[in-house]
Amino acid sequence: MSPFDLTIAQAAKALRAKDISAVELTTAYNGAVAALNPRLNAYITTTPELALEQAKAADARLKAGDATALTGIPIAMKDLFCTEGVRTTAASKILSPFVPPYESTVSAKLKAAGAVMLGKANLDEFAMGSANITSAYGPVENPWKRREDADAKLVPGGSSGGSAAAVAARIALAATGTDTGGSIRQPAAFTGLAGIKPTYGRCSRWGIVAFASSLDQAGPMARNAEDCAILLNAMAGFDEKDSTSAPQPVPDFTQALTRGVKGLRIGIPAEYRLEGTNPEILALWDKGIAWLREQGAEIVDISLPHTKYGLAVYYIVAPAEASSNLARYDGVRFGARVDGVDLIDMYERTRAAGFGAEVKRRIMIGTYVLSHGYYDAYYLKAQKVRNLILRDFSNAFGKVDAILTPTAPSAAFGLGEKMDDPVTMYLNDVFTVPASLAGVPAMSVPAGLNAEGLPLGLQVIGKHFDEETVFAVSAAIEQAAGFAALPEVRAK
């Protein structure tokens, strides 16, 4: 079997059986990165020498019998995670020279588990976007192609588009992502991957470049639910350095994969059948409902009445928090600096040159809604509605064990197709934002292809800190769907 056909679980087994070494596996992936990244732009920074060093250390651990399920596994690290000695840019010019002297908690946990870092994956600038087109280092290309239009370049989703494209194109075995309003789940759906946003507080945010602090959450992206579970086992856990980290025990998520769904109550929210949603998405949702019913789940109609306000709330809360978090980038202590005639002029020149258009737009929106005279009218009201959205989920989970919805309202679209209208771009997150606002875990699993041959995903939403049920339902959908399609770049 080719090293590019292996899942994490299969690769770990092959490494233990000495069928392949970590150095051989990493060398193969380094070569694939060198060959395909110039086209896809999935990585901002590649680290082939570091990867080989880590692979050699992994082989030593394997020989000593001290290996974990991730020892020797080559992964991509979203360029939002600070990595000691390796440039971390958040896909922004303002952080282009930044080399952190410390390691984020999540990347440190993966490093300790023996994972091999191939490089830092591209993203929307400061994780602000749904298509990976706002990066200061250029857009990412989705490795998937439309059947009848192979020349058109498609977006991979965002903000974790580089992570998604790297895994889909087989130039990483798995990747880390972050999810603020859908930035793991939507790109996973666009690229035929599995990706989970854990419960807010499940994974430490320490050392992750902040976008919106009450929403940001790290999570894994991989080829299937099992690989995501293996990654989350290593990534999750309480961290005293993060005040929002939850002191919750971390179960072995892989144990939930074979539970099945017999006897589970699966909620189907009426509000997610939005007018204008692609009929293929709705048909796939109906198919997912049928799969779960056939496997013994009880299907329950539910209502999440405040869902319709989710996007409006998100695009008040997230920019407000972003305007506060991004105030630190002023050219004084770290990052890029543009000199001026005085301190204020230096601030203005640095931020004007360092931030892209979408980041500036969100800073301005956030500053506006927090300003005197508008705080009560916008930000405070949005927080009240956010509580109502959380209450909707709490009420629903009094009746059901998990909720099934579509992940995104469409398949991947073309570069340039929706870029002129920010509101149209924001609508990509319509199905993912409510779970983020409520802080509940949610996972996208690939469930089929549309008429153009592009992947579509279904989203499973669970109760707070009940990722195990999310994995159980996701694995059941995965098994029923039998999704095994490959993008054009790896299909030949």
Helix (H, G, I), strand (E, B) or coil at 274: coil
pLDDT digit string, tens, across residues 369-396: 999 889 999 999 999 999 999 999 999 9
User: Cis peptide before 159, with omega less than 30 degrees from 0?
Assistant: yes
Which tokens sit at 490? 């790896």
pLDDT digit string, tens, across residues 85-97: 999 999 999 999 9
- What percentage of the chain's residues is helix, strand, coil (to nearest 5)? 45, 15, 40
- State in Å, rounded, how far the first CA of the chain is from the last one: 15
pLDDT digit string, tens, across residues 136-150: 999 999 999 999 888
At residue 423, the pLDDT reads: 64
Q: In what order do the strands lie in the sheet with 116-121?
A: 43-46, 116-121, 74-78, 174-179, 217-222, 194-197, 442-449, 455-462, 402-406, 265-269, 298-302
Q: pLDDT-based confidence at 427, cuts 50/70/90? A: confident
Which tokens sit at 214? 């009450």
Amino acid at 214: S
Rounded Cα distance, 389 and 476, in Å: 27
Helix (H, G, I), strand (E, B) or coil at 167: helix
Express as a percent the part of the chain with pLDDT over 90.
93
pLDDT digit string, tens, across residues 269-319: 999 998 778 899 999 999 999 999 999 999 999 999 999 999 999 999 999
What 3 state SS string does 103-151 have?
CCHHHHHHHHCCCEEEEEECCCHHHCCCCCCCCCCCCCCCCCCECCECC
Per the CB < 8 A criterion, the answer to whether 415 and 153 are in contact is yes
Which tokens sit at 345? 């002029």
pLDDT tops 70 at residue 451: yes
Among 394, 406, 438, 405, residue whose Cα is nearest residue 301: 405
Among 399, 400, 389, residue whose Cα is nearest residue 470: 400
Q: Is the dihedral of CA 362, 360, 188, 238 positive or negative?
A: negative
Q: What residues are labeled active site?
A: 78, 159, 183
Cα dist from 26 to 161, 175, 385, 460, whole Å: 22, 14, 48, 33
pLDDT tops 50 at residue 492: no
Helix or strand run (H / E) with residue 298: strand 298-302
Express as a percent the part of the chain with pLDDT over 70.
98
Q: pLDDT-based confidence at 333, cuts 50/70/90? A: confident
